[in-house]
Amino acid sequence: MASVLADITVVEVSQSPAAGLAAMVMADFGAEVVWFEYAGKRKSYRVWHRGKQRVQVDLAPHHGAAMENADIIRAHILNSADVFLTDLSARRLAELGLDWQTLGGQRPDLIHAEVSAFGDDNPFSGLAADGEQVMPEESLVAAAIGRAMIFEGVAKRPGPVYPAVQVGTHGAAQATLTGILAQLVARTQGGRGQRQQASILRALTSYDLVGLGVSQLGESPFPVVNPLEVLPMLNFQPVQCSDGRWMQLGNLLPHLQVNFLRAAGLTDILDDPRFAEQPLDEATTEDFRKRVCEHMATRSRDEWMTLFEADGGAASHPYQSTQQALQDPDIVANGHSDSSHGFRQLGVLGQFQRTPGQVALPPVDVALADVDLPNVFLPATESLSVEAGRELPLSGVTVVEAAAIIASPLAASMLADLGARVIKLEPLDGDPFRLMAFGLGADRCNTDKESMALNLKSAAGQQIAQDLIAEADIFIHNYRPGVPERLGLDYQTLAKRNPRLVHLSATGYGTQGPGKIRPSTHPVPGAALGGVLYQFGELPSERLDYPAMLDVSRRLFRANELNPDPNTSFVVASAAVMGLVSAAGTGQGQMIHLDMFGANAYANFDDFTEIRGGAARVPLDPDHRGKGPYERLYPCRDGWLMISIATEADQKRLMDEIGSFDHLMNQSAEYWQQRLVGMGLGVIRADGSVTGLRIQEPAFAESGLVAVYDHPLHGRGIRHGAMSQWPLSERRLQGPCQIGDATESLLGELGKTVEEMQSLRRSGVVKNGAEALS
């Protein structure tokens, strides 16, 4: 079968992985990608380079060849490209004649995708790629919205910590990809192309699950904790084993914790009457914590892993680096570590039953004069209006989601942001995430959805689900293997009624390998894929006494924050729409398998290549401030600065202004930011409030990072904005669904009478919103 994007041509003008990763995935799925690389050639191979014709161009301001090169690129776009993808700033695109206004008028079908660090609508927007300067490092964006404060406590000092893993870059790349694929779907239905914009800034807001919600409460329900003292959740305790090596436990839900305690031989905790008194008081928690940690130190890490893999019900994994993850049995078995080109590197996006991707070849260097693209599109003889409104690209698409907690539900919400209708099937008492974190995290994951409270263990409930999915375009679930078959929600069953269905399964470890039946929660892929070790640094290998071990585990817990869940959400969203592209073109749906390990391999893209001599990553300094003098956090008289300056010329300008780094203590961080950002230097205050508060500040008022909605129960509120901007499409973002709030309306759409609905409620098959909330 032909690759799903075999007829698509992409023109990429970029120097960043945020753009490069999106184009790389399209190349893996058959697209022809011509990459115009500015600002010099990167010498070493990186995964986002693969699958492309690589053309070196000069697009720097004030360089004579820039406009001539832009003219050639423009001609290729107008004559040949389905997609134009770039990380250049909107200002520079306009100067080069590569902006939407110029291109869209002649090619109304063109997909015009822009990705940036900050977007175009805040005080930091001037820190952008211009053809000579490249996109700023993610560290600056993280500083600007308070993400560096999330890691306070990893270092043995107060204050912000350098955010090492480039999750926002991963998110921006996937949001860009999802938008492009959605536009390709819309084009098959006669839709026109349009301008889309993604940014690291927007992507990083997805990692704030509760902060925005807490900010709207009169008083926070969460206790005030000292990040230098707070210990891990008992269910998420890192432990040191008898051989000195470390393991992460990840048994979030009560049944998983019971599974772990039984598998580990800790039945004495289960038999303790205090265990039944949930939630545990502080003293009991610490008693159990010490018992767990001391017991886990009685066997080696490999002995424990052999036991847990055989049991299949406990969530745990060894800590390892990203380079070690390339050899992980589950990573290799599920194709996330590919060796088809003679070395190990990041695999394809997921397992697609009908239209599988294939890891593309390394880039081929081509001279600008030798680029040979067919002239498929004839530019219009007169300019057309580019301001005419469009619909969001997934308008008319229906998604049914049967998933819990974060990764898959948040992904479905991302599809709703693009115009899809999303129907959430949840148990009669709701997604269990609604009972955690006072429901604030669940609200974040369930925006723009309709909820049906449905008993899928009943035959009638399964029939209702099948009837809904028969009219849907995409079905997303995160059941463990075997469960969809028991519920009648497996692909074979559903495809008999809906052959166009895109059926996406998102698991923890994947469908192959020793972990295929094992559960996974966010700390597990955090430990397994190398992100935590990059953030934390080298773990001690000597056996520690309990107090020392507890302190290391505390710091590990701060490093292992929740990013693996949103990391997965971005990949689930893009893979679902990739499947939709295929279905729109062929009339045939397919089964897609994704897992948290593969998605988080993508989030660790910068080191997911086998490299001689060790990791591609520059380690953080022992104080977790950064990676070098010009990529580092600095204390000031008041507050902390993140300094990220790549070029020698700008480094010299910085030192001319401040004299020496020691002089930063003479003024406040706010002073230095105001003085230096205006000069185009990457210097941003990194301390203060965290993301949920920071995105509400006046600096981001025009950025659309939050949106107002009217809730039927709670009144007016604010929610996070969408992961991409669509200037030509009107949208009205909604608030979160409540348990069963659309049960009756959805049953009505299925033709159920009032009497039938009442019978279904009496027999415990469904609940409406009022019943579910009571």
Query: Could you write out the DSSP letters of every residue in 120-146?
Result: SSSTTTTSSB-SSS-PPPHHHHHHHTT
Per-residue 3-state assignment (H helix, E strand, C coil) for 634-695: EECCCCEEEEECCCHHHHHHHHHHHCCHHHHHHCCHHHHHHHHHCCCCCEEECCCCCHHHHC
Cα–Cα distance list, 664 to 545, 639, 683 (Å): 40, 10, 11
Please tell me the predicted confidence (pLDDT) of residue 543: 96
Q: Is the pLDDT of residue 384 over 80?
A: no
Mean pLDDT value across residues 170-179:
98
Asked if 168 contacts 145 with a C-beta cutoff of 8 angstroms, the reply is no
Taking the C-alpha atoms of residue 686 and residue 145, their distance in angstroms, rounded to an integer, is 8
Taking the C-alpha atoms of residue 562 and residue 476, their distance in angstroms, rounded to an integer, is 21
Bond prior to 279 in cis (omega within 30° of 0): yes
Read off the pLDDT band of 322 (50, 70, 90): very high
Q: Encoding tokens for residue 681?
A: 């230097």
Asked if 129 contacts 88 with a C-beta cutoff of 8 angstroms, the reply is yes
The 3-state DSSP class for residue 506 equals strand
Taking the C-alpha atoms of residue 365 and residue 489, their distance in angstroms, rounded to an integer, is 47
Which candidate, 240, 237, 225, 244, places its Cα nearest to that of 289? Answer: 237
Please tell me the predicted confidence (pLDDT) of residue 759: 97
Residues 507-524: tens digit of each pLDDT? 999 999 999 999 999 999
Read off the pLDDT band of 648 (50, 70, 90): very high
The 3-state DSSP class for residue 598 equals helix
Q: Is the pLDDT of residue 62 over 90?
A: no
Residues 731-765: tens digit of each pLDDT? 889 999 999 999 999 999 999 999 999 999 999 99
The tokens 């955010």 sit on which residue? 163
Please tell me the predicted confidence (pLDDT) of residue 732: 87
Read off the pLDDT band of 611 (50, 70, 90): confident
Asked if 695 contacts 677 with a C-beta cutoff of 8 angstroms, the reply is no
Burial level of 636, CB count in 10 A (0-12/13-18/19+)? Answer: buried
Please tell me the predicted confidence (pLDDT) of residue 388: 73
Question: Phi and psi at residue 499, in whole multiples of 5°?
Answer: -65, -15
The 3-state DSSP class for residue 85 equals strand
Burial level of 579, CB count in 10 A (0-12/13-18/19+)? Answer: buried
Distance between start and end Cα atoms, the chain: 52
Mean pLDDT value across residues 73-84:
97
Read off the pLDDT band of 613 (50, 70, 90): low
Beta bridge partners of 421: 398
Which candidate, 670, 169, 746, places its Cα nearest to that of 467? Answer: 746
Mean pLDDT value across residues 434-462:
95
Mean pLDDT value across residues 320-339:
96
Q: Encoding tokens for residue 227?
A: 């990040």
Asked if 600 contacts 441 with a C-beta cutoff of 8 angstroms, the reply is no
By percentage, how much of the chain surpasses pLDDT 90?
90
Q: Is the pLDDT of residue 773 over 80?
A: no
Amino acid identity, position 329? P
Asked if 130 contacts 89 with a C-beta cutoff of 8 angstroms, the reply is yes
Q: How many CA atoms does the CB half-sphere of 754 hold within 13 Å?
A: 0
Q: Encoding tokens for residue 262?
A: 């039984």
Read off the pLDDT band of 476 (50, 70, 90): very high
459 sits in the region (left: phi over 0; alpha: psi -120 to 50; else beta) called: alpha
Amino acid identity, position 49? H
Question: Phi and psi at residue 487, in whole multiples of 5°?
Answer: -95, 0
Which candidate, 207, 287, 284, 298, places its Cα nearest to that of 247? Answer: 298
Taking the C-alpha atoms of residue 726 and residue 730, their distance in angstroms, rounded to an integer, is 8
Catalogue the long-range contacts made by 626-630 (C-beta closer than 8 Å, 24 or more residues apart).
Answer: 626/139, 626/162, 627/162, 629/661, 630/654
Q: Encoding tokens for residue 268?
A: 């004495």
Residues 347-379: tens digit of each pLDDT? 999 999 999 999 999 999 999 999 999 999 866
Q: How many CA atoms does the CB half-sphere of 200 hold within 13 Å?
A: 31
Taking the C-alpha atoms of residue 217 and residue 236, their distance in angstroms, rounded to an integer, is 27
Which candidate, 459, 532, 394, 508, places its Cα nearest to that of 764? Answer: 459
Q: Encoding tokens for residue 714?
A: 């709670």
Please tell me the predicted confidence (pLDDT) of residue 599: 97
Residues 481-490: tens digit of each pLDDT? 899 999 999 9
Read off the pLDDT band of 442 (50, 70, 90): very high
Please tell me the predicted confidence (pLDDT) of residue 383: 56
Residues 539-562: tens digit of each pLDDT? 999 999 999 999 999 999 999 999
Quote the mean pLDDT of the chain. 95
By percentage, how much of the chain surpasses pLDDT 70?
98
Question: Phi and psi at residue 389, in whole multiples of 5°?
Answer: -70, 150
Question: Phi and psi at residue 746, in whole multiples of 5°?
Answer: -70, -40
DSSP character at residue 218: S
Read off the pLDDT band of 2 (50, 70, 90): confident
Mean pLDDT value across residues 181-192:
95
Residues 37-54: tens digit of each pLDDT? 999 888 789 999 999 999
Amino acid identity, position 56? Q
Residues 556-585: tens digit of each pLDDT? 999 999 999 999 999 999 999 999 999 999
For the chain, the maximum distance between any two Cα atoms, rounded to a whole number of angstroms, is 81
Taking the C-alpha atoms of residue 293 and residue 264, their distance in angstroms, rounded to an integer, is 11
Which candidate, 695, 701, 658, 702, places its Cα nearest to that of 679? Answer: 658
Q: Which residues contact 165 (CB under 8 A, 6 or more apart)?
A: 531, 534, 535, 563, 603, 604
Burial 252-285 (b: 16+ CB within 10 A, else e): bbeebbbbbbebbebeebeeeeebeeeebeeebe
Query: What is the CB neighbour count within 10 angstroms for residue 764?
Result: 13
Please tell me the predicted confidence (pLDDT) of residue 380: 59
Residues 674-723: tens digit of each pLDDT? 999 999 999 999 998 999 999 999 999 999 999 999 877 778 899 999 99
Q: Encoding tokens for residue 25?
A: 């995935």
Burial level of 693, CB count in 10 A (0-12/13-18/19+)? Answer: middle
pTM: 0.97
Query: What is the CB neighbour count within 10 angstroms for residue 689?
Result: 15
Which candidate, 109, 47, 112, places its Cα nearest to that of 85? Answer: 112
716 sits in the region (left: phi over 0; alpha: psi -120 to 50; else beta) called: beta
